[in-house]
Amino acid sequence: MKIRNLTKKMDDNLVLKDVSFDLQAGEVTALIGRNGVGKTTLFSTMTGIYLPDEGDVFLDEKSIYKHPEVKQQLFFLEDNMNHFNTYSVQTVVKIYKQIYTTFDEVFFNELMEQFELPMKAKLLSFSKGRKALFFIILAFSLNVRYLLLDEPMDGLDIIIKKQILAIIKDTVKKRGTSVVIASHRLEELEAIADRVIVLKGASVELDYYLEDMRTDAVKIQVAFKTKKIPDFVKNNAQLLYRNGRIYTLLVTENASGFLADLRLEDPVLLEEMTISIEDIFTVHLANDKIDYYEI
């Protein structure tokens, strides 16, 4: 799926500006950004609920706006499916089976049984967690190539979250589905995301694979003998946190060269740490920069 130069205004507000990326099969992409940045608007525009002011979205080289039939291959799970509240599970399934001929009934029944969700109950009688679980099961049962999930785990308890993550991971692996999950709960996506797209100020600020990031980048804790911070540190590292004289730094390019230079300074503390999505988010989206000199 190719997203090309999407620009979208909501009222007079420019929400998306020249947004482009490709989605590949068998990958989980985390779409992250602060509240109100435009994640839901991007999904709505990618699926033709909104028409873009500029740009296009292609599935198998066909524009989804000009060839709506290709949208059979994608599904957008909105963060609030309350419009189905008065329907029974059976009725919702019937509706989706008519729309999506790829619906996998065996898979659906197996998961409904596994999670003990009743078929005849109305969705209104489900707790928030059970309802979210039901819609995730439904979404994956549609057997589409592209799934866009908007905050699918918002407000769920840890047990259900883990169950949902397991379903996502398993199905992506087995079926080669491409899943995009919009969230600001980064720690939850860490375990399953292959790639992260960061939206900021209406545009794509960052787009990278976590594995590449972990290879090219390094996160370290360092403390120097004196209060003076070497210039190459200030110029090449992004400061994540500071605790007294201990600096937690993120270096995203030429990590090995940076570490070698750092060792020459003979620091009193130098420790490598695991990079999290949250670190990236902090560096790129935080408004307040931490000052190296504030000791």
- The backbone torsions φ and ψ at residue 37, rounded to the nearest 5 degrees and listed phi first, read -75, -25
Site for ligand ATP in 140-199 (CB under 6 A): 184
Which residues inside 214-253 make contact with ligand ATP, applying CB under 6 A? none
Rule CB under 6 A: say whether 15 interacts with ligand ATP.
yes
**29-37, 188-196, 274-282, 287-295 -> range binding ligand ATP (CB under 6 A):** 29-37
Answer whether 195's CB lies under 8 Å from 210's CB.
Answer: yes
Candidates 11, 231, 288, 291; binder of ligand ATP (CB under 6 A) is: 11
- Comparing CA positions, the residue from 234, 219, 252 lying closest to residue 289 is 234
Question: Should residue 40 be labelled a site residue for ligand ATP when binding is judged by CB under 6 A?
Answer: yes
Structure tokens at 98: 């008519």
Shortest CB 40 distance to ligand ATP, Å: 3
Q: 283, 249 in Cβ contact below 8 A?
A: no
If one asks whether residue 13 binds ligand ATP (CB under 6 A), the answer comes out as: yes
Contacting residue, 3, 19, 23, 37, with ligand ATP by CB under 6 A: 37
Binding flag, residue 12, ligand ATP (CB under 6 A): no
Burial of 264 (0-12, 13-18, 19+ CB in 10 A): exposed
* Cβ contact 180:149 at 8 Å: yes
Query: Can you tell me which of 10, 99, 268, 269 binds ligand ATP, judged by CB under 6 A?
Result: 10
Task: Please give the size of the binding site for ligand ATP, defined by CB under 6 A.
Answer: 13
Of the candidates 22, 24, 25, 36, which one interacts with ligand ATP according to CB under 6 A?
36
CA 263 from centre of chain: 36
Q: Is residue 204 a contact residue for ligand ATP (CB under 6 A)?
A: no
Please check whether residue 122 is in contact with residue 153, taking contact to mean a CB–CB distance below 8 angstroms. Answer: no
CB 54 within 8 A of CB 5: yes
Terminal CA-CA length for the chain: 49
Residue 271: beta bridge partners?
Answer: 221
Choices 5-13, 20-28, 70-78, 116-124 (CB under 6 A): range interacting with ligand ATP: 5-13
Query: If binding is defined by CB under 6 A, does position 1 make contact with ligand ATP?
Result: no
Please report, as ranges, the residues that interact with ligand ATP according to CB under 6 A.
10-11, 13, 15, 33, 35-41, 184
